[in-house]
Structure formats: C-alpha cells, structure tokens
Amino acid sequence: MTSSDRIAEHSTGTDTTAEGADSRPYADSRETTEGRVYTVSGGDWEDFLSDLDPEHDERMVINMGPQHPSTHGVLRLVLELEGETITNLRSVIGYLHTGIEKNCEYRTWTQGVTFVTRMDYLAPLANEMAYCLAVEKLLEVEVPRRAQLLRVLLLELNRLGSHFVYIATGGMELGASTAMTYGFREREEVLHLLEHLTGLRMNHAFIRPGGLAQDMPPDFHEKVTEFCKVMDKRLPQYDKLFTGQPIWRNRLKGVGYLPVDACLSLGITGPVLRSAGLAWDLRKIEPYSCYDEFDFDIPTSNEADCWARYLIRVEEMHQSLRIIRQVLKKLEPGPVMVEDKKIAWPAQLSISSDGMGNSLEHVRKIMGQSMESLIHHFKLVTEGFRVPPGQVYVPVESPRGELGYHMVSDGGTRPMRVHVREPSFVNLQSMPAMSEGGLVADMIAAVASIDPVMGGVDR
C-alpha cells in the first residue's frame, strides 16, 4: 500500500478501530491515555528488498549512513550495487529534523532570527539575511545604507567560510588530508573575524529585522583589510596544491555529470547550476542590499561535473574578496538600524563593561525619561512588534544556491507561517542522476560537489 493509498483510506473514513488498524500490515497500534498510537516499522526497507533473489541475483543493497564520514552529516543513502557500480540510489533524510520552521511561529519576529541561523549552520548569516529581508518587506521599511553594506560584508565572509569547508570536507572524503587541514585552517580565520565583528563564531543572530544588532567594532576596517591580505596569499596555494594536481583533477573530472537541462528540471541552483553553464546568481539577477552597486563576476563552466564545481567555488572566493574590498571603500558613518522606535530594539541597547546586560547609563536613560517609555520598552522586548498582514517570498544567493523564505503574517507579533526553500534540500534531488551508473567512489565525490548541509535539509 502506497502512502497516497493510506492518505486516501483515512480521508474516505475507512475503519479506524483498533481491530481495523491491526489488520493493516504497515503499522501496529495501541491505545494510550493520549489516544491511539501507531508504531511504524521500516517497511520501505523490506519493500525495497522484496524483489531480490539472494541466491540468483548478483545485486547487493547496502546502507551508506546515516552515520558515515562521507555523507556530510546524517544523510542516509540506500545503494543498490552490481559489483561497485550503482544501479539505484535513494536518499533518506530527516535524521536531523529540528522543527525550526514551526518553532518560529511561536516566537516574536526578532526571536525568529535565533532559530533560522541554526538551519544551514555553514551559512547562518545567509539565513538571517533572507529572514530579515522578508520581515522588512512585510513591514515596508528600508534598512539604512550602512547596515545594507555591512550585511553584504558579512554575507561574503560567510560565503568564504562555507566554501573553505566544502574543500576541507570534500578533500577529506577523497583522501586528500592536505585539503582538509588547509580548508579548516582558512575557515578558522573567517570564524575568528566573524567572532570579532559579531561576538559569535556561528549562529550569530546579528542581522535583525530593520538592520543589525549593533555597529562594527572601531578596528573592524583594519581587521577585515588584514584578513583580505592573508587570503590573497593563501588562495593561490589551492591552485598549486589541487587545481594543477593530476590526481585531484582525474578524481573529479567527468564525475557527477549533471547538464543544464537536468538542473532546470530538478530546480538545482548555486554552483551546481553554474557548473552546467547557466550564470544564475541572485546577486546579479535579482540584486538585494546594494549588490547592484558592486563590480564582480559570476564564474561558470560548461563541464557540468565535480571538477567544474570545484573551480567555480574557488573563483567565487576570489570574487567575494573583491566585493569585501569594495564594501570597505563605500562605507560611511550612519545608523545600522531603522529609526522607528517600535522596531529598533535591540540595536540601540548598550553593553556594560563585563560584556553582558545594559550599561547603567542606558538603564538610567530609559527609566529616567518617563514611565510610558519604560512600559513601551518592556512590551517591545517581551511581546515584540506587530507586522501588517500579508505574505512574501524573498530569496538570497546562499553559498549553496537559492535560499528563499516564504512568510505569512496575520498582523500579530509572531509569524503565522515560515517556510524555507532550502538549496541543500532541493539539490539533493540530483544525487541519483549524478551517481547511478557510476562507481561508489565517484558517488562520494558527487555528494561532496553538491555540498549539502543536513541542518538545512531537515530543519
């Protein structure tokens, strides 16, 4: 019985008594104080194996994952093999499900940022950005220019860190331990800088509806400039160690082929789509946050394989450094949060000398103005601001592709619905097309070239 048959059976009012439930082979039930509870077994696995003849069939079905060092987290791949050739591949997800989308419906609009930043944990700032752009579109507010430019700075730093992890994990899975040590070394540089700028290495919650949580530290210009100089020295090392390395090239070239028509049919975006020749990048196609003011290139290739995806990501890191330098030149003094006091919390709160709480001066200012201002501040912090009714969809270009937020407001202080178009989730659809007919070892390279993050897939 398929899942659609089961849904139809329930919708047509078929017998749902305990006896009727027990007669269905796919799930046993028992009565509890909370009602009837169904125990669902792994029937899909038995169905998958049912047509195999172990005596006369040379096919072999194996599980790869969900706990495997080459599955980018808790991804489970069910492989049907003939020797080392993959004849059938199926992705099984859900092992890292956190319910973040649903949790956002029970938090204020500002608190939602602390949830979405934990989905794709290699691109937390991209999630914050898309979420806040959607809220700001519902509010019909424009973020100050300084905040827009600083957002671009943070997003490109985040893109660098994510691509370095792609090289590190992909190289480790293919046996190139040098790629792992180099990639994570560079990523640490990115995380150190982000910690200096935002206060946290990951899960920053720094981009807020209306702007940023606070302005950059006084020495941020020097720190970012120094970082760019370090990357200028280190990025060429990747070309020497990997791009010009025949073993690395032969390991990736011609592997995980996915042409542009297949990408479009499956909804694939990001470096995988650009490796097939289509220069689709939302920073150019649908610019947001001043991206239309920057001069940068969108690298593409017609090879449509793992090798092309590696080259594109390395070149994208050069372009990110190019954008970061332009941001530093364009920055001017100004606010980093909208002026509307009904939205602006908590950007204008001060931090005490111990790094926690509010300074005494700020507390005196709030409490000394009037009782009304104190009440308003309390309500803004505890209840949050109201967002006009409506629904929007806002996409951004994350390191993995189009990351879009569909958000619905009923006019309250919390979202009515938050749904995310997550690129890792969509891009995983390409796994069978990339891998079936190839070797198991090549499938490892194909998974790495997609660069999925299971926190975003399962969310």
Q: How do the pLDDT tens digits run along the chain, 459 residues long?
A: 444 444 344 444 444 444 444 444 556 778 888 788 777 665 565 666 666 665 556 788 888 878 777 777 888 899 998 888 899 999 888 888 889 999 999 999 888 999 999 998 899 999 999 999 999 999 999 999 999 999 999 999 999 999 999 999 988 888 888 889 999 999 999 999 999 999 888 998 899 998 898 889 989 999 999 999 999 999 998 888 888 888 999 999 999 999 999 999 999 999 999 999 999 999 999 999 899 999 999 999 999 999 999 999 999 999 999 999 999 999 999 888 888 777 776 544 555 555 555 566 666 666 666 666 667 777 777 888 889 999 999 999 999 999 999 999 999 889 999 999 999 999 999 999 999 888 998 999 999 999 899 888 988
Q: Which of 216, 226, 135 is nearest to 189 (CA)?
A: 226
Which SS3 state, helix, strand or coil, does residue 198 take? helix
Which SS3 state, helix, strand or coil, does residue 418 take? strand
- The set of residues, in sequence order, having a beta carbon less than 8 Å from that of 134 and lying 6+ positions away, is 392, 393, 394, 405, 406, 407
Which SS3 state, helix, strand or coil, does residue 208 take? strand
Q: For residues 449 and 193, give the distance between their C-alpha atoms in angstroms, rounded to a whole number.
A: 26
For residues 78 and 435, the answer to whether their CB atoms sit within 8 Å is: no
Eight-state DSSP code of residue 278: -
pTM: 0.82
At 453, list the tokens.
């993050």
Handedness of CA 359, 361, 367, 373 (dihedral sign): negative
Handedness of CA 300, 182, 189, 447 (dihedral sign): positive
Which SS3 state, helix, strand or coil, does residue 260 take? helix
At 373, list the tokens.
């201002």
Q: Where are the domains of the chain?
A: 100-340+386-423
For residues 304 and 276, the answer to whether their CB atoms sit within 8 Å is: yes
Q: For residues 66 and 64, give the distance between their C-alpha atoms in angstroms, rounded to a whole number.
A: 7
- The set of residues, in sequence order, having a beta carbon less than 8 Å from that of 65 and lying 6+ positions away, is 71, 74, 75, 76, 77, 92
Q: For residues 341 and 257, give the distance between their C-alpha atoms in angstroms, rounded to a whole number.
A: 53
At 104, list the tokens.
């956002």
Say which CATH superfamily domain 100-340+386-423 falls into: Cytochrome-c3 Hydrogenase, chain B (1.10.645.10)
For residues 224 and 153, the answer to whether their CB atoms sit within 8 Å is: yes
